[in-house]
Structure 1
């Protein structure tokens, strides 16, 4: 890994570092920001170090850095690799740092990623809208990163989403920095985006390290679910442990609102007028008439919570509430019978807290549907096993 360079052209500034890697690895790792933010870009290799952590472990590739790396990161990197290894299934890899340097002077900015989702708005509730937030933790910038989460549509989808979210940031009153990158070109076999999410976004904090003193991450995992579990495959479960290992004297990486359940965050967001016309939780790339489809699992989870706390009508601009109301009783009856996943369990807790009980007929229907789905899943599993056995026999 060579020394980073920053080049400006056409209103954009590109930070890049050459990579000498195997086939399939891009020849450079790069990030781009609008040129007015050039002064915030670091001239260290810290962003690449953080971004490559999990891919290098998955590929079993040793890392060699010739460019400057902050000494605290090199010192803590063994622990960071060990942490991700313990919560995944690949061992740490050898790392060589040929140029270790002290921390640079701290910047003045406080930044957080913003997607207009529940976690993002809950972070804003505490670090922007709140009157009692200390100046050292009050947001000065929002970030909208292309570091892998837009994989289905890649850069084009990221640009379309940014065009939708930029006016929201303007209304909120904070500058938003669009950060493009080619991190989705780094091979990471056997890993979906979830394990890469936290370090990929943390790498952007280090990219802008010359202008930031603090980066705050809207983690989706509550403290009671934080822990190092082998094969969890999701970096969010160890964020409160990992982010201090990615921090330095001049750049603090923090997790926001992990004391709260998602339903508690939803209560906060329901009181933010800016969110009523901009909340975006949908997993569909192209929803129908409104921003959120009101049909996917994440939309229904959010609508269920908003409905139970009596705030769903406020979000009519963002959801087709007729779709939700047609499905409401059946969905909540189904949720009342489920013991996993954790976010569904939280919705069950909220139903108990507000005293909502599904009608017996809806619960019976939901129980029957779940039984049929369980039987179908079992049959598909048997068919797959039988198919594998048949292929093994016929190959002999």
Structure 2
């Protein structure tokens, strides 16, 4: 059994931290989320929701039921026990577990009606921002805040010193972009990576949603940028492959989650972003650097797509285009050879054919 206790707020060197004690076999540990003091008023001590979602993978990994000692959103309790946990258990061959709680709450908290989305400045992220502009978006669905969560993506490689450095650099980059878009950026640090010790790719949705559920007094709507085109997605090791199912099941009486951009392919998203002027200054897809290296998996995939779309030179200030041009021909051959095994490559290949890109290339 894993037992989670009601959270509390504490001040840490000018920041505010929401933390909760959890117990496994009588051993107590703490999961925490930390942010700037100005957002402390929105942190939710009245619900255990964030910590249940954050620790759910720990329960699944260990095969332990979870006892919640404190108020829990009734909607979340139902969605997890009767839908999401059985789904995850079937996908990954885990033993199903049960959430137990004697204090379910169906009454919403007082809420500021905020609308948020993550701002990593990648293709998925900027596509979500681009799509939610203009008069077609109703008033109560227009983005009011951006978020940037340190929940594991920055800990996927390198030393702890490098991980901290890249987190600070990426947060500063996102903050500058948010400022130009006229919105606040809420940066959240957490120890959830050390708690779970699991693959970030498999667990990122629940990690990031747990950080958002910390702020149920602020947010009413949250757009979680989709990593997959819903028409082509199949359940796999990436939790994004079933976000369209899981996100509604993680909603509470206070906040509703949407899988933003799930109706578009990666090529379509890239084309949308290429029409978004702020992306020429802030697009960041690189696995390693703020100024995109031009050679890593994500850089070359993005740059080839932009080249096919005729937009690559718009990004000279944020990509090492010379590095990409040196490997472009070999990467094109890789895409062609692997198109039937990788949906993303198939997407790029189909666009090359549609735009007669290979013929144009051979003619030059």
Asked if Structure 1 and Structure 2 have the same fold, meaning a TM-score greater than 0.5 normalized by the shorter chain, the answer is yes
Structure 2: distance between partners of 1:39 and 1:298: 38
What is the deviation of 1:273?
1.0
Cα contact 1:26–1:185 (8 A) shared by 2: no
Aligned residue among 93, 96, 105 for 2:97: 93
1:219-238 C-alpha deviation (Å, 9 max, x unpaired): 111111334x4xx2221111
Q: How many residues align?
A: 350
TM-score (norm 1): 0.84
Corresponding residue for residue 39 of structure 2: 37
Aligned residue among 90, 103, 119 for 1:114: 119
What is the deviation of 1:208?
0.6
Q: Is the counterpart of residue 148 in structure 1 residue 157 in structure 2?
A: no
CA RMSD of aligned residues (A): 2.0
Corresponding residue for residue 182 of structure 1: 191
Corresponding residue for residue 235 of structure 1: 239
Give 3-state SS (helix, strand or coil) of 2:337's partner: coil
Corresponding residue for residue 376 of structure 1: none
Map 1:155-194 → 2, pairs under 5 A: 155-188=164-197, 191-194=198-201
Corresponding residue for residue 299 of structure 1: 299
What is the deviation of 1:323?
1.6
**Structure 1 unmatched ranges of 5 or more:** 362-396
**Structure 2 unmatched ranges of 5 or more:** none
Rg (Cα) greater in structure: 1
The 1:26/1:218 distance shift into structure 2, 3 A limit, reads: farther
Corresponding residue for residue 382 of structure 1: none
Cα contact 2:227–2:262 (8 A) shared by 1: yes
The 1:360/1:308 distance shift into structure 2, 3 A limit, reads: closer
What is the deviation of 1:89?
1.9
Structure 2: distance between partners of 1:182 and 1:322: 38
Corresponding residue for residue 388 of structure 1: none
What is the deviation of 1:54?
2.0
Structure 1: distance between partners of 2:141 and 2:231: 24
Cα contact 1:216–1:255 (8 A) shared by 2: yes
Map 1:308-347 → 2, pairs under 5 A: 308-338=308-338, 339-347=340-348
TM-score (norm 2): 0.91
Cα contact 2:60–2:97 (8 A) shared by 1: yes
Structure 2: distance between partners of 1:344 and 1:235: 20
Give 3-state SS (helix, strand or coil) of 1:273's partner: coil
